[in-house]
Structure 1
Amino acid sequence: MDQELAEVLRSGPFEQALRAAIRARGLSLDRLRSRLRERGVRVSLSSLSYWQRGRSRPERAASLAAVRELEEILALPDYALIGLLGPPRPRGGQPGREALTVLSHHEQVTVAADRTRLLARARMVLRATAPGADRYVVAHPPGTRLLHTEYCRLGRSRDDGTGARTLTELIFDHPLGPGETHVAEYSTAFSGPALRADEHLRHLRAPVDQHLVQVRFMGAHLPVRCFHTWSPDASAPPRDAGELRVDAFGTAHLVDTGARPGVRGIRWEWD
C-alpha cells in the first residue's frame, strides 16, 4: 500500500480515501461496477461517481454492504472505508431516530491500592431499531481514553463541541438488521485529575433496560462510605441518592432496570 493511500485511510475523508484506493488499483468505475456485479452487488455508475466526489455517501444497508465489497476488491483492510463514514444524516429536515437501543450496559472500575482509578471495562448489548446501524458512539470526559475493544473496532474520535467530552465510534463487523443484537466491549484508561477522582459517572443519553456499575477496590484499605449518585441533567452535578455497601470482596455496585437518561454513578469517601 503506497504512503498516500495509507495516510488517507487513517485520516479520511471517505471520498478522498475511495478515490485514492481506486487510483492505486488502476480500476475504472465501470470495471469496479462489473466486479461488484460479479459478487451479486448492484451499484450504479452515478452512485460510485458521487461517492468518490463527496456529492453523496453510502448510508443504506445495501450501500454499506457494497462498501464492504469494495474494500475486498480494492485490497484494503477490513473496515478501512466503512470506518471513515460518519453516522447517517437526518432525512427530510427532521432529526433521525435512534438506530440502536441499549439493552444492557455493564461496567466495572478498578481502583488501585494507591486510590487511583486504573481501568474501566464496559460491556454493552445493543439492538437495532432500523436497518443499517453499523456503529455506536460512546462519550468519555477529559482525562480518559479508550484503550481496547472486543467485538468491534475503534472508529473516529472528535470533540462534542463543548470541550466536556470526546465522542468515539465503536464500529461493528456488519450493518445490523432491524431487531438484530450486537455485543460490544471496550476498556478505558485514566490520566491527570481523572486518575484520582473519587467517583465514576456515566451519562446515559437514552433509556437503558439494565445499567450496572461496579467499583472494585484493590488493597487492604477500603473506602469508609460509598454512595449512588444521580442527576437528570448533565449540566447539574449529581447528588447522593442512597448509600451502597462495600462487600467482603472489596466491591460496591449499583444496578438500575429501566434506567432513565441522566448522569448516574458511584462516589466513595476515604478515611
Structure 2
Amino acid sequence: MTAHDSPVVAGSLFAERLSRGIRDRGLPLQRIKAKLQEDGLAVSVATLSYWSSGRSRPTRRTSRPIVQKLEEVLQLEPGYLVDAMPGADRMAALERIAPEELIRVAFDELGIARNPTWETLAGHQIVKVGSDRAEKGVENRDLSRATVTGQQKWALVLADCAGPIVCEETTACRLARQVDLTPDITIFEFMLDRPLEQGESVLTTQRLSYHGNGDPLFRQRYAVTENMDRLVLEVLFEDELPRKFYRTFAEDGSEEEQIVSRPVYSGLDCLQVVIDKPAPGVHGITWEW
C-alpha cells in the first residue's frame, strides 16, 4: 500500500484535476484568488498552489464552498473537483482515531523519521494573535546539532489548527511536503539545504500563517521530547493583552496540566517565558480574555 492509497493519507486525484483545470483555463492563481474573494471566499495563492501540486489537500469543512466556486471559475462540471476531495466518511473515521496513533501511522506511511538523529539545543516559538483574538501564525526557530552525519529532514506537527495553514517563509531549510491529516492536524516535513556533518549545528526558522477565521486563542503549547538547553515561548498580540495569564506544564505522558508558579513576562504587546533545561513534557502559556 502506498502513502497515496492508504486510509490515512489521501490520494492525489484532487490535485490532478485541479492542476488540469487551471492549466486548461489559463488563469493565473492571483486571478483565481481574486474571483474567489468576490464571493467572500478567502484563500491564499500559496494554498491554491499547494492544492494543485498535491502538497496539501482541502480537508477542512470550510474548504467545500471554495472548491465549489473553483469549479465555476475554472468552468468545470459541477462535482468534478468536489467528488475528488477527501470524503466525509473518511474524515469522520480519521477523527475517531486518537491523534497520537493517527500521527504515528501517518509518519510510518509517509516514511518520516519520528526521531531525527540530531539534538535540539534551543527552541523559540512565537505565536501571533490578531485583533480578533484568533491565531494568525506561528514562527519556530530551532538550534539543532547533528549526532550522526547525513541528517537532513524532520517533521513539525501542528494540532488544533485555526484554519487553513501555509508555510510562508523558511531560513536554512525548505518545505518538502505538507500533509493535512484532518481539519485539525497538519504535518510539515522540512529539509535542510544540505545534510549535516556529525557535530555540526544549524539554526532554522519556519514561519507559518493561518488563512481563515479561527476562534479566540487562549493558550500556547510546546512539546519537549528530549533534553534541551533553553526554550523560549512568546506570544505577540496585535491588540490588547489578555487580562490574566500563567505558565502551565504537563509531564511527559500525562494529560494532567499543572499551573507553574513562576511568572510570565508581559510587555506592551507580548507574553514571554524563558525556560532553562526544560523537562520533557508539554510547556505552555494560558491566558484569559
TM-score, normalised to structure 2, is 0.54
Match of 2:189 in 1: 169
- Misfit runs of 4+, over 6 Å: none
Write out per-residue CA displacement over residues 58-94 of structure 1, whole angstroms, 9 at most, x where no aligned residue.
xxxxxxxxxxxxxxxxxxxxxxxxxxx9456xxxxxx
Match of 1:126 in 2: 144
* AA partner of residue 141 (structure 2): R
Match of 1:262 in 2: 281
1:155 aligns with 2:176: yes
Q: Contact (CA 8 Å) 1:226, 1:243: kept in 2 or not?
A: no
* AA partner of residue 229 (structure 1): T
Distance (Å, rounded) in 1 between the aligned partners of 2:282 and 2:211 = 21
Distance (Å, rounded) in 1 between the aligned partners of 2:210 and 2:262 = 25
- Matched residue pairs, number? 182
Match of 1:227 in 2: 246
1:123 Cα offset (Å): 0.9
Instruction: Report the secondary structure of 2:194's partner residue.
Output: strand
1:235 Cα offset (Å): 5.5
Distance (Å, rounded) in 2 between the aligned partners of 1:266 and 1:178 = 35
Match of 2:257 in 1: 238
Percent of aligned pairs with the same amino acid: 25
Q: Gaps spanning 5+ residues in structure 2: where?
A: 1-18, 20-52, 56-109
Cα 1:119–1:245 shift into 2, 3 Å:
same
1:229 Cα offset (Å): 1.0
Q: Gaps spanning 5+ residues in structure 1: where?
A: 4-9, 13-84, 89-95
Q: Contact (CA 8 Å) 1:234, 1:263: kept in 2 or not?
A: no
Match of 1:42 in 2: none
Q: RMSD in angstroms over aligned alpha carbons?
A: 3.1
Distance (Å, rounded) in 1 between the aligned partners of 2:115 and 2:190 = 19
Return the structure number with greater strand share: 1
Distance (Å, rounded) in 2 between the aligned partners of 1:239 and 1:246 = 19
Distance (Å, rounded) in 2 between the aligned partners of 1:143 and 1:236 = 19
1:175-254 paired onto structure 2 within 5 Å:
175-190=195-210, 195-219=215-239, 221-233=240-252, 236-242=255-261, 244-245=263-264, 247-254=266-273
1:156 Cα offset (Å): 2.7
Instruction: Report the secondary structure of 1:196's partner residue.
Output: coil
Cα 1:263–1:177 shift into 2, 3 Å:
same
Bigger radius of gyration among the two: 1
Distance (Å, rounded) in 2 between the aligned partners of 1:209 and 1:173 = 25
Instruction: Report the secondary structure of 1:174's partner residue.
Output: coil
Write out per-residue CA displacement over residues 30-66 of structure 1, whole angstroms, 9 at most, x where no aligned residue.
xxxxxxxxxxxxxxxxxxxxxxxxxxxxxxxxxxxxx
1:218 Cα offset (Å): 2.2
TM-score, normalised to structure 1, is 0.58
